[in-house]
Amino acid sequence: MNWRILSLMDIDPYRFQSVREAVLFSVKSGISPSTVTLLKNSIEYVSIGGKANIAETVNLDYCMDMGIPVSRSIIPHSSSAFNSNDIKCNAILNEESVNALKTRDSLKNIFSEVALNMMGALGLQVENPVGTNNLNVAGKKVGTFAVYSIGKTSRITIVSISFIIDFNVDLAEKALISKRNMRETMTTITNVSGRTPSFNEVKNAVMETYVETLGIVFEEAVLTPAELLISEELLEGKYRSDSWIKTGRWSPVRDYGG
């Protein structure tokens, strides 16, 4: 299978979301092939899932007082706080890729193996406890993976793999409304390995794992002009808007994620 990979470093959380949706639309429309996006945050921020109730998950007053951005994803994930070093790997898969992969195994099993192998390529001995999306070292979460199928009229598959490079527990405990004891249940790649892997190290681990595990042939690419235009429209019209952030609703010219 021939996929492309996009590397985007030090982008803010709103642009992260708008770029992902622009690429999603491009892949779903058949304009671009299945695409892996590798994105590194530029600042600490809080992310909430597409259907989350912000009042029940985020201490919005604290975030506003501290100048911490809160962004809402189209993906229905749990609320999370991210460090500026954290890296997200998203594989946005067209129907052809999904059908080819399903001849081997379930997508969850395939991408559990992919995520574990990526962490292994970074020198970590990681496990995926049964029934969870966590990637754990000695019982503590150091990353996550999840397979999502989203869309209103047609579905597209997104595989999200998160690398917890660093983690500001103090920020997370104050910014998130959570019953989890994050100090006891989470750790970081930096803590476990004693060093902080570079963006290129993570990128190499991602590409090598996809090549060796799934036989993917990658083309290193950049956003197309159409994707750039869509991402700019979504950035201001949707992802920076109070309506989308606070309620998950907006009035688009075009709903690219639908």
What pLDDT, on a 0 to 100 scale, did the predictor assign at position 255? 60
DSSP assignment string, 149-198: EE-SSS-EEEEEEEE-----HHHHHHHB--SS-HHHHB--HHHHHSS---
What pLDDT, on a 0 to 100 scale, did the predictor assign at position 152? 65
Residue 255 lies in a domain: no
How many Å apart are CA 243 and CA 248, to the nearest integer? Answer: 7
What pLDDT, on a 0 to 100 scale, did the predictor assign at position 76? 81
Domain that holds residue 92: 2-247
φ/ψ bin of 37: left (φ > 0), alpha (ψ from -120 to 50), beta (otherwise): beta
How many Å apart are CA 166 and CA 143, to the nearest integer? Answer: 11
Residue 119 lies in a domain: yes
Show the tokens assigned to 53.
């109730």
pTM check: above 0.85: yes
What pLDDT, on a 0 to 100 scale, did the predictor assign at position 168? 85
Residue 258 lies in a domain: no
What is the 8-class DSSP label of residue 98? H
The pLDDT tens digits of the residues spanning 42-60 come to: 888 999 988 889 999 999 9
Residue 200 lies in a domain: yes
Residue 46 lies in a domain: yes
Residue 253 lies in a domain: no
Question: Strand 134-137 relative to strand 156-163: parallel, antiparallel, unpaired?
Answer: unpaired
What pLDDT, on a 0 to 100 scale, did the predictor assign at position 29? 92
Residue 222 lies in a domain: yes
Kindly give the confidence (pLDDT) of every residue in the chain, 258 residues in length, as a single tens digit, with 9 standing for 90 and above.
999 999 998 888 999 999 999 999 999 999 999 999 999 988 889 999 888 899 999 999 999 999 999 999 988 877 788 877 889 999 999 999 999 999 999 999 999 999 999 999 999 999 999 989 999 999 999 999 999 988 766 678 999 999 999 888 888 889 998 767 888 899 999 999 999 999 999 999 999 999 999 999 999 999 999 999 999 999 989 999 999 999 988 876 566 655
Residue 172 lies in a domain: yes
φ/ψ bin of 248: left (φ > 0), alpha (ψ from -120 to 50), beta (otherwise): left
| CATH (domain of 98) | 3.30.930.10
Total structural domains in the chain?
A: 1
